[in-house]
Amino acid sequence: MILHDLHVHSIQSACGLHTVLEIVDIAAAKGVKTVNICDHGEASGRKVNFGVFVDKRRFPREVRSRSGKSVTILGGIEVNILDEQGNSDLPKKYFSLFDLISAGFHPLTVPLPSAVRNTRALENYLKHSPLDILTHPCIRSAPLDIDRIVDLSLEYGFALEVNNTNLRLGKTDHEQILRMIDIASTRGARLVENSDGHTFAEIGENDKIEELLAYAGCAGSALFLNRDETRLTAFLKERKNLRLPD
C-alpha cells in the first residue's frame, strides 16, 4: 500500500471514475493517509475550472471519511506538455494555487516519436514552468532520455515517478525504469511511488512496484520520498515556497 499516494484521478478527469469524497472513503479503508488529487490539464479532458478545488477556503485539506478516519487531500494537477517548445496547458496565473504540479506526456497531446524531442520539450517547459513530479517517465508511448532526465531532476528538484498502474497495464519500459531507479538512487535524485489510480482497485496500490523492486534487489523504504512523512512534508513545503506569489 502507498501511504501517501501523490497521483490519483477523480471524475474531474475524463478518465477518473470517483468523486473526491469517494476517493477519501476508498483511501481511508485501505489505510492511505494522503491523496494528491492529480487531475489532467485541459488538453486531455479536465472537466472543471481550477479555482474551487484548490482554494483551501472552499475545500479543506483534511477530510473525514465515512468511517471517521481523516485523509489529507492535496490539490494537484497533471499538466500536459504540449509541444517541443515546452508549452503546456497550465496558465501562469494558476502556478501558485497548487500543492503539487505534476506533468507528463500523454498520447492525446504530445506524443513526439523520439526521446530526443520529448526530452527537449521537457527542458523547454522547465525554463518557464514549475514541476514537482514528472509522471510516468518510462511510458513506452513517449520515450525520454533517462540520463538527461535524472540530470534535470537534480537541477530543478522535481521527483521522478514510478507508476504502479502503468506497470500493471504493461505501458512501462522495464529496462528504462530499472535504469532510472538505479541512476536516480545512485546520484541522489528524488523518486516517488504513485498509483495513478483511476478506480477503487488502483488507488493506493503498489503491488507491481514491489515486484519490480524485488526483481531489482532494492529496498524501497529509502528509495521513495513519499514513504517517509517527514521527507514528504519538507518536499511539499519546499515546492510550494518556490512559487509563492510576489
Contact 167, 203 (CB under 8 A): no
Q: Which is nearer to Zn ion, 14 or 214 (CB)?
A: 14
Distance of closest approach, residue 58 Cβ to Zn ion, in angstroms: 24
- Stretch near Zn ion under the rule CB under 5 A, chosen from 44-52, 90-98, 101-109, 170-178: 101-109
* Beta bridge partners of residue 133, listed in sequence order: 102, 159
- Does 132 sit near Zn ion (CB under 5 A)? no
What's the grid cell of residue 168?
Answer: 500493471
Binding mask 181-200 for Zn ion (x = CB under 5 A): ---------------x----
Shorter beta-carbon distance to Zn ion: residue 89 or 196: 196
Q: Which window, 63-71, 78-86, 140-148, 213-221, contacts Zn ion (CB under 5 A)?
A: 78-86
- As a whole number of angstroms, the distance between CA 145 and CA 174 comes to 14
Of the candidates 76, 104, 137, 220, which one interacts with Zn ion according to CB under 5 A?
104
Spatial neighbors of 95 by CB under 8 A, at least 6 apart, are: 101, 129, 130, 243
Considering the complex, state which of residue 201 and residue 221 has its C-beta at the smaller distance from Zn ion: 201
The span from the CA of 238 to the CA of 157, in Å, is 10
CB of 177 to Zn ion, least distance (A): 15
Rounded alpha-carbon distances, angstroms, from residue 33 to 36, 179, 209: 10, 30, 19
How near is the Cβ of 234 to Zn ion at its closest, in Å?
24
Q: Are strands 100-104 and 62-64 parallel, antiparallel or unpaired?
A: unpaired
List contacts with Zn ion (CB under 5 A).
78, 104, 135, 196
